[in-house]
Amino acid sequence: MPKSPHPPLEPEAYHQMRAAAATLAEHLGEQESGARYRLWQIMRTMGEEGALALLQEAQAIEAAGGQLIGNGSRRRTFGGLYFHLARERLTGDPAYDWIFARPPATKKKPASNAPAQPAPMASVPSVPFVWTERQALIDAAIQQNGGSTTMKVTLVGVEGRKLSWSAK
């Protein structure tokens, strides 16, 4: 991620701008932290007056019927309209990449000692399961020798009837 092109703010100015950006986020209905941070970045770059002027422009467009997204399939959300206008205004600004750059995609690598492909699980035949016999099955499972693994058991049925079960 690019670093901010702006000099650091004094603590009081920083807190005032964060509060103004939070109010802007509330007006736009933005609740996700990433969007709220991006609004703070826009306000940091354009200033409070510039960011609020952009809000007024977005309100005017919304009052006139809104704006469609690029492919025309639906209307932009109010927050999406604001971000779209900000992108247009800030194109060419040194802070553009700081605000709108996406983090590089990362691929998760398997651990070096882990096998690349998990071993296929053996098929477990379905057998009738009677709820009142559950304790005997638990006791039999406890007596088995071997290692611990994870097991998911899904029970489907109605109480008092025989159930079919499978372990995955």
Q: Tell me which architecture the domain covering 11-100 has in CATH.
A: Orthogonal Bundle (1.10)
**84-118 per-residue burial string, b: 16 or more CB within 10 A, e: under 16:** bbbeebbeeeebbebbbeeeeeeeeeeeeeeeeee
Q: Which range has highest mean pLDDT (37-41, 152-156, 161-165)? A: 37-41
Domain ranges of the chain: 11-100, 127-167
Please write the tens of the pLDDT for every residue from 103-144: 666 666 655 665 556 666 666 556 666 777 778 777 777 777
Please write the tens of the pLDDT for every residue from 36-80: 999 999 999 999 999 999 999 999 999 999 999 989 899 999 999
134 against 21, higher pLDDT:
21
Q: Is-contact 144 108, C-beta < 8 A?
A: no
Predicted model pTM = 0.59
Please write the tens of the pLDDT for every residue from 91-108: 988 888 888 887 666 666
Query: Helices marked H in the chain — which ranges?
Result: 11-28, 33-63, 78-90, 96-100, 134-143
Taking Cα atoms as reference points, which of 94, 11, 81, 102 lies closest to residue 46? 94
